[in-house]
Amino acid sequence: MRNRRAGILAAVVAAALAAVVACTGPSSRPVAFEPSRPQTAHPVATTRTPQHTAPPPAVRMVRWHGPVEELFVHPLVLEPRLAFTSDTLGVGFQHYFVTALEFQRILDQLWQKGWTLVDIHKAAAGTVRVPAGRRPLILEEDDVNYYRYFQGRGLATRLVLADGQVRAQLPDGRLSDQDVVPMIEAEIAEHPEFSADGAKGVLGLTGYEGFFGEHHPKRAAVQHRLRALVHWLQGRGWTIASHSWGHIDFTTNSLSSIEWDTGQWKAIADPIGLHTDVLIYPFGGRPSDEVVRYLVRAGYTIQQDIDDVPRTVHRDGATILSRRHVDGYAFEVPAQQRAFYDVATVRDPNRPR
Ligand SMILES: [Zn+2]
């Protein structure tokens, strides 16, 4: 039974990989994006003949004065047939998740439609810059925890740092690049102007099953791995955010239970050297002034809710940014996604109608 399932898994993942690779096409020039000075290197030489072509023009960065759009996804479904079943959990996956194929198509369309990833701190401070002619976007992944309920449903099991790259581990132990972090890294490698000033994305973590799929965060070996992973991510332009420890609703829980929950999250984060000023409200609910002020005192000066407009509110010492969800529910309202992606061409053929 186990072998049979592993075989199916390998076949489906291989098919998904092939589809996504075909979708992105061959990699274009791997020129580093350095906004402050002209690009001179052009390492893709096809012959040994000395080349005296002019360097490509420098990218001109311009200040952005409007609101900054934000989109978020959950961990990617790698095998739709395991995730998108007709039971309650399967319907939940259909509503709240996208597949790796869908995410790759969304990334390509975001690039084609002129979006460029920017740093959330710059967005909160109003100091965003983008390459001239492009628009800023914050891209986020919530619940990067690879919960136990993912098991057997065709998702990855944890994030690992392997040979200097972040990759997703599959249930059979193999490593995959079909995950939000490696896919965004690859998109930027292919299109350097997809990132402004080195920005990547925001990763929101709960704590009740550990971080990044490591379910035993008190073990020394796990803490060692998590510390290296966090160091790599933060050093490469990723922002890690709290999504509360228990995925609690900040609008209904008492202040004392929110304080307890905050302490639980920090008890995992502190030993691995993870400190963050960004908090993502679970369920998108907007808490009371008292709770917002407490969260500011706890260090979360950037807080995030969910809405279908880009909004920045300065309130009780916090900057509160709104984000749009990208999932099966969003796919039901294609007109609202049109500025970012076209639902009809993004939709995975293995997603039930
Ligand atoms: Zn969540």
Q: Which residues surround ligand 1, an ion (CB under 5 A)?
A: 142-143, 282
Q: For 107, which DSSP code?
A: H
* 204 alpha carbon – ligand 1 mean position (Å): 8
Indicate the residue type of 119.
Answer: D
Distance 96 CA to ligand 1 centre (A): 10
Angle ∠(174,176,179) on CA atoms, nearest 5: 140
Domains of the chain, start order: 2-25+69-346 (3.20.20.370)
Band (285; pLDDT cuts 50, 70, 90): confident
Question: What is the C-alpha separation between 1 and 8, in angstroms, rounded?
Answer: 11
Tokens of 91: 């319907």
Between the CA of 206 and the centroid of ligand 1 the distance, in Å, is 8
Q: Across the strands, what pairs with 312?
A: 321
What average pLDDT does this structure show over 58-87? Answer: 96
227 Cβ contact list (under 8 Å, min separation 6): 272, 273
Q: Which residues contact 335 (CB under 8 A, 6 or more apart)?
A: none
Ligand 1 mean position to 307 CA, how many Å?
14
54 — pLDDT class (breaks 50, 70, 90):
low
Scanning 270-347, the segments in alpha helix (DSSP H) are 289-297, 328-331, 334-337, 343-346
Instruction: Give the per-residue pLDDT at 75.
Output: 98
Distance 143 CA to ligand 1 centre (A): 5
Q: How far apart are CA 54 and CA 24, in angstroms?
A: 28
Q: What is the pTM of this model?
A: 0.84
Please, which pLDDT band fits residue 52 given cuts at 50, 70 and 90?
low
Distance 53 CA to ligand 1 centre (A): 50
- Per-residue pLDDT of 336-351, as tens digits, reads 999 999 999 999 999 9
Q: For residue range 232-280, what is the model confidence (pLDDT) as tens digits?
A: 999 999 999 999 999 999 999 999 999 999 999 999 999 999 999 999 9
Cα separation, 288 vs 73, in Å, equals 26
Question: Phi first, then psi: what are they for 117, rounded to 5°?
Answer: -70, 135
The Cα–Cα gap between 87 and 168 comes to 26
341 CA → ligand 1 middle, Å:
22
Cα 29 to averaged position of ligand 1 atoms, centre (Å): 37
Distances (CA, A) of 215 to 94, 218, 313: 25, 9, 35
Distance 297 CA to ligand 1 centre (A): 22
Using CA atoms, how far apart are residues 257 and 269, in angstroms rounded to an integer?
19
CA of 276 to the centre of ligand 1 (A): 17
Distance of CA 311 from the midpoint of ligand 1 (Å) = 20
- Cα 148 to ligand 1 centre (Å): 15
Residue-wise pLDDT tens digits, 228-242:
999 999 999 999 999
Task: For residue 60, name the pLDDT band (cuts at 50, 70, 90).
Answer: very high
